[in-house]
Amino acid sequence: MSLSRRVKSRLSVIVVPAAALFLAFGAIVAFPTAAFAHAKPVSSTPSPNQNLTTAPTSVTIIFGQNVKPDGSDIIVYDKDGKKVSTAAATVDPNDLKKMSVPMAGDDSESYLVVWHTVSADDGESAIGSFSFGVNAAADDLPSSTTTPSASSGVQPWLAALIGVIGLILGGGAGYYFARRQTPTPAAPAQ
């Protein structure tokens, strides 16, 4: 086997898996938010854990992505678990990141706001909650949570696992086929 054929054979053993790794990592770096984006709150009125002197007449949440009106809602509960939001939440047609719900505050010291959204940008859903108080003691406010929902899309850990398995199989196949190449017999020397 000539020197150039051996070099080409060894290069293909290195280049094929390296190119596969380069492309996979490039996709991860180029599109990180595509798999992990959700319409989550960036601000609200009242804000989480805010302590007001009077109950508001509405709750407004601004999300990081546009929200689909269908499948998205805000519900407000008082400290006894009674629903105090008086209608379904509405998305502002001029600002699809803004959703509001009217509420009738009672004499409750704390309120729980539960929201769920479907992103108009990527269709992913998210759910979460926060609380605020009206003349409440600090201990009366429950902790706030925000949790992405697993109701749609592929779980990130599963996508990563499939990607790693694909890289291993692709690299192994590239190595196998590069090693499998049979050299052509050299012409007899004259």
pLDDT tens for 68-120 read 999 999 999 999 999 999 999 999 999 999 999 999 988 788 999 999 999 99
What DSSP character marks residue 96? T
pTM, 2 dp: 0.58
136 and 44 part of one domain: yes
133 and 172 part of one domain: no
Q: Within a 10 A sphere around the Cβ of 39, how many other Cβ atoms? A: 28
Mean pLDDT (whole number) for 161-187: 70
Tell me which amino acid residue 113 is: V
45 and 139 part of one domain: yes
Q: Return the CA Rg of the chain.
A: 28
58 and 144 part of one domain: yes
Q: Which domain holds residue 175?
A: 3-34+155-180
124 and 101 part of one domain: yes
Q: List the single range of 39-48, 60-69, 104-113, 161-170 with lowest mean pLDDT.
A: 161-170
- 125 touches 71 (CB < 8 A): yes
44 and 83 part of one domain: yes
75 and 122 part of one domain: yes
Q: Within a 10 A sphere around the Cβ of 48, how many other Cβ atoms? A: 17
Determine whether 54 is exposed, middle or buried from the number of CB atoms within 10 Å of its CB (0-12, 13-18, 19+). Answer: exposed
